[in-house]
Amino acid sequence: MEPRIWLIGGPTASGKTAISLRLAGEIGGEIINADSIQLYRDLTILSARPTPEEMAQAPHHLFGVADGAEAWSVGRWLRAALPIIAAIRDRGRPAILVGGTGLYFRGLTHGLAEIPNAPPQVREQASAAFDTLGEAAFRDELAQVDPAAAARIASGDRQRLVRAWEVYLATGQALSDLQSATTSPLAAEDWRGLVVDPPREALYGRCDARLAAMFAAGALDEVSALLARDLDPALPVMKALGLREITAWRAGQMNREAALAAAQQETRRYAKRQATWFRNQTPDWPRVTETEPEAQWRQFLARSAP
């Protein structure tokens, strides 16, 4: 276990937290959050943030540090994470980055391009084009100038599709080309990546159980407190899994059972998209495919051996 930086990714509810805690205890590591929603202090339950008892087992960083009114980007996370990694190294300890936000890991291992912000009129033009054409035709148009982005961006991800188009309109260059002209912030020999990727049905069962536990633990009260802040619905925190369904339940648009079932279904879909992303973007990272924690740990040890 010689690397000084561990990257542990995978879909939600796959078992990443348990492995990272076990690893931290074994090697004296410090854990850094690589999940875009666990950044926000407003959502402890709904983001599945580690419990106080879990966080007491090892130093934790970038969990619950952002206010919901802030919109953290990949770049902002990277600018926050890199000094923490350096400080952990200066203390002579390994850093363990764990989470399901694949773009955070990509930023660490491939670098992050400095993409200029498009002028407001260009953003409006790109957004209007999407609304006029619809996703399928808009994606076809994008494929003419940035085929890599058109193929890479997930179905239903309006924000990233529009962003790719507005970058082209503003710069005359494909977003994918700008992103590829980067260097990794981490030296290749300093890090090792691993994906926790249990069988699909087992993963779905874990997603369902986690949502049920969230509902029982007070997710409704947590969402009510967030909604009372009257934040911009476009903010990242407002897109947390389960928030839309709990909001509908709170408004009387569906009952608790229907809200739970809908949130479980959406979480399963999201977990599938995450698993697909890691499969496509990190094909050379070893996989932990077991389901139970002890079996996962044994497989982690076997797969992470040099």
Q: What digits encode the pLDDT tens for the residues 213-228?
A: 999 999 999 999 999 9
Nearest in space to 200 (alpha carbons), one of 91, 303, 140, 279: 279
pLDDT at 141 over 90: yes
pLDDT at 1 over 50: no
The per-residue pLDDT for range 100-138, each reduced to its tens digit, is: 999 999 999 988 877 778 898 999 999 999 999 999 999
pLDDT at 183 over 90: no
Q: What pLDDT was estimated at residue 296?
A: 98
Q: For residues 205 and 212, give the distance between their C-alpha atoms in angstroms, rounded to a whole number.
A: 11
Q: For residues 270 and 17, give the distance between their C-alpha atoms in angstroms, rounded to a whole number.
A: 18
pLDDT at 285 over 50: yes
pLDDT at 9 over 70: yes
Burial of 189 per CB tally in 10 Å (0-12, 13-18, 19+): exposed
Q: Using N-to-C axis directions, what is the helix angle for 243-250 and 219-227, rounded to 10°?
A: 80
Q: What pLDDT was estimated at residue 306?
A: 76
Q: What pLDDT was estimated at residue 96?
A: 98
- The per-residue pLDDT of the chain, averaged, comes to 95
The per-residue pLDDT for range 236-272, each reduced to its tens digit, is: 999 999 999 999 999 999 999 999 999 999 999 999 9
pTM: 0.83
CB 107 within 8 A of CB 114: no
Percent of the chain exceeding pLDDT 90 equals 87
155: pLDDT confidence band, cut at 50, 70 and 90? confident
Mean pLDDT confidence for 37-61 = 97
Q: What pLDDT was estimated at residue 305?
A: 82
Taken in order of first residue, the domains within the chain and their CATH numbers are 5-112+191-304 (3.40.50.300), 120-180 (1.10.20.140)
pLDDT at 2 over 80: no
Q: What residues have CB less than 8 Å from 181, skipping those under 6 apart?
A: 113
Nearest in space to 58 (alpha carbons), one of 12, 1, 17, 86: 17
Mean pLDDT confidence for 156-170 = 92
**CB-hemisphere CA count at 13 Å for 270?**
19
